[in-house]
Structure formats: structure tokens, C-alpha cells
């Protein structure tokens, strides 16, 4: 009986869309000095997907990720995150949504120099408001666990000035995951890592994808990640070309 009902119900519903960009353009600067970094980008990312954006230096990867991560706004077009039209939100509302649901790995790590590696990872949880003693203990344990999984158990009390590029990049990755965000946006997150560390990072990403349904948008020039991602999209001079899977998806067109 149950089986009959299942058959009648048809295929399982597709994962809900988490990110929907339609007709997005980005221009940095004004007038003759301005640079058109992105042209007419349509992109849809479902909950739990891992999408790699590949492209050479200057192709617009950071410009695109900053818009998806709500650190920057599009010059034109619509940006919908978790069904909210963020391109129309106030700066404060966007910052609140970002803190609630996005983890971001900056291309240049952006660690706070006066905080230890462990404190840097804790920071997104601390910024959400005052934690009681039990919540603080759990947060500290979670940050320590992430650092251990990324091979940084002995560097937890080190300040960023004592960390090399690989260690700094892994601290930035741990920080992006500490809130168990629905979406992680990571700008070339493995650019400074050796093969062993790439494996640790991609295993940790896969674990979050599986356990928390986290979606990932990664920019990369690193072939070592490609076997682990759901889709690879090519960005060339600010224009995005999809894989066949992307071509089958119809990006939502929204009038703004
Ligand atoms: N704040 C800015 N002001 C002016 N131009 C900018 C700014 N940010 C980026 N650009 C320009 O926009 C284009 C895309 O830059 P972007 O940093 O997005 O590319 P990228 O693919 O991330 O490059 P890289 O691989 O070097 O990190 C480049 O021509 C860059 O010079
Ligand atoms: Mg970049």
C-alpha cells in the first residue's frame, strides 16, 4: 500500500533553491574608470549542492562570490537568497541575514590579528549575541573540533602573525563553518594548501553537506577540488557558462 502511494506520488521533490541570481551585472567604479566585472549572470544553487566557479585571474570570481555572500550588491539584476530578495533589502537586514545563514572564506583569509586562531573561529558565534556558560562551552568545543579536523590542534592558541598561509587559510575555513551555516561561500579556499590539507578540507565540507545540508559555492582554479563538487561552472571575462546540468535548470527570472 505504502509502495503504491509512493509510486503515485512520483519522483521526490527537488532540493529547494537557496541561491537564485537573475540578470546580475556588476560594475566597479564610475565612468571611464569603471570596470564591468560581471555580465548578465543567471545562477541557481540548491540546498546541499556544491558548486565550483572556475575562471582565470580577473574573470570576476570574487565579484560574484561577494554578491552571493551578501558582502556586496549587484549593479543590476535580482539576487534571491533563501527566498528573500536581498537586492532590495536594507544594509542592516542583509547583514543580519548574512550572519544568520552564511559562512564566508575570504580569498586573503581576513583573520583578526589580535585574536588567536581559536578566537577567530569563535567570532561568528560570539557576534550573534551573548552566550550563557553552557552555550559558550559548546561553542568553544565546536571551534576546537573544527581546528583539529583541519590539522591545527597545536596552533589553536597561535595569533595569525605566527601562522603560515596554509594554516591561516584553514583557520578561515574553520571560521566559515562554525555557525553550521546553510550556505558557505569560499573564495579560492584551497589555493595555499598541499594535497593532504585539500583532502581534509573537502572531507569536512562533505561532512557538513551531509550532516547539515550545507550548500557550498566555491571559486577555484584548483583542479584537485573538481572530483568532489556537484557542478563546475566556467566564468570567463565576467560571463558564466553552465555545465549540461546547469543548462537544464531554468533560472528564475524576477522583475525588480
Ligand atoms: N573594487 C574594485 N574596483 C575596481 N575594479 C575592481 C574592483 N574589484 C575588482 N575589480 C576588477 O573587476 C574585475 C574582476 O575582478 P575579481 O577580483 O572579481 O576577479 P577574480 O576572478 O576574483 O580575480 P583573481 O583570480 O585575481 O582573484 C577585474 O578586472 C578587477 O580588476
Ligand atoms: Mg578573486
Closest Cα to residue 102, out of 138, 127, 130, 135? 127
Whose Cα sits closest to atom 12 in ligand 1?
Answer: 37
What is the C-alpha to C-alpha distance for residues 111 and 165, in angstroms, rounded to an integer?
Answer: 11
Q: Minimum-distance ligand to the CA of 221? A: 1
Compute mean pLDDT per 10 residues along the chain, 256 residues long, and list them: 51 77 96 93 96 95 98 96 92 93 97 98 91 93 98 98 98 98 97 95 96 95 80 94 49 39
Strands (E), 89-242: 102-105, 183-187, 215-220, 231-236, 239-241
Q: Which atom of ligand 1 is nearest to the CA of 235?
A: 21
- CA–CA distances in Å: residue 227 to residues 195, 221, 224: 13, 13, 7
Q: How far is the CA of 66 from the centre of ligand 1 (A)?
A: 11
List, for residues 21-74, the tens digit of each pLDDT value.
999 999 999 888 899 999 999 999 999 999 999 999 999 999 999 999 999 999
Does ligand 1 come within 6 angstroms of the Cβ of 35?
yes
For cell 535580482, the residue is 78
Give the span between the Cα atoms of 141 and 159, in whole angstroms. Answer: 19
Specify the pTM.
Answer: 0.89
Q: Where are the beta strands (DSSP E) in the chain?
A: 17-28, 35-46, 50-54, 76-81, 84-85, 102-105, 183-187, 215-220, 231-236, 239-241
Q: Is 26 left (phi over 0), alpha (psi -120 to 50) or beta?
A: beta
Q: In what order do the strands lie in the sheet with 35-46?
A: 35-46, 17-28, 76-81, 84-85
Residue 59 Cβ inside 6 Å of ligand 1? The answer reads yes
Atom of ligand 1 nearest to the CA of 56: 25
Which domains, and CATH codes, for the chain?
Answer: 17-248 (3.40.50.300)
**Is any atom of ligand 1 closer than 6 Å to the C-beta of 26?**
no
Amino acid at each position: 500500500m505504502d509502495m503504491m502511494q509512493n509510486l503515485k506520488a512520483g519522483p521526490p521533490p527537488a532540493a529547494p533553491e537557496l541561491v537564485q541570481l537573475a540578470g546580475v551585472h556588476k560594475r566597479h567604479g564610475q565612468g571611464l574608470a569603471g570596470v564591468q566585472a560581471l555580465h548578465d549572470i543567471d545562477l541557481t544553487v540548491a540546498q546541499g549542492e556544491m558548486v565550483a566557479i572556475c575562471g582565470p585571474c580577473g574573470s570576476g570570481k570574487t565579484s560574484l562570490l561577494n554578491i552571493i555572500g551578501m558582502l556586496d550588491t549587484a549593479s543590476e539584476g535580482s539576487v534571491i537568497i533563501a527566498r528573500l530578495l536581498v537586492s532590495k533589502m536594507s544594509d542592516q537586514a542583509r547583514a543580519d541575514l548574512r550572519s544568520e545563514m552564511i559562512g564566508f572564506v575570504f580569498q586573503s583569509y581576513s583573520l583578526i590579528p589580535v585574536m588567536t586562531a581559536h578566537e577567530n573561529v569563535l567570532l561568528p558565534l560570539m557576534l550573534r549575541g551573548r552566550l550563557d556558560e553552557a552555550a559558550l562551552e559548546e561553542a568553544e568545543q565546536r571551534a576546537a573540533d573544527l581546528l583539529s579536523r583541519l590539522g591545527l590542534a597545536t596552533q589553536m592558541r597561535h595569533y595569525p602573525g605566527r601562522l603560515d598561509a596554509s594554516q591561516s587559510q584553514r583557520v578561515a575555513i574553520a571560521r566559515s563553518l562554525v555557525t553550521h551555516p546553510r550556505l558557505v561561500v569560499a573564495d579560492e579556499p584551497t589555493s595555499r594548501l598541499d594535497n593532504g590539507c585539500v583532502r581534509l578540507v573537502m572531507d569536512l565540507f562533505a561532512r557538513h553537506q551531509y550532516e547539515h545540508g550545507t550548500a557550498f559555492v566555491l571559486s577555484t582554479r584548483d583542479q584537485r577540488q573538481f572530483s568532489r563538487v556537484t557542478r563546475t561552472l566556467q566564468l570567463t571575462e565576467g560571463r558564466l557558462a553552465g555545465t549540461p546540468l546547469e543548462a537544464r535548470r531554468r533560472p528564475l527570472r524576477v522583475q525588480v
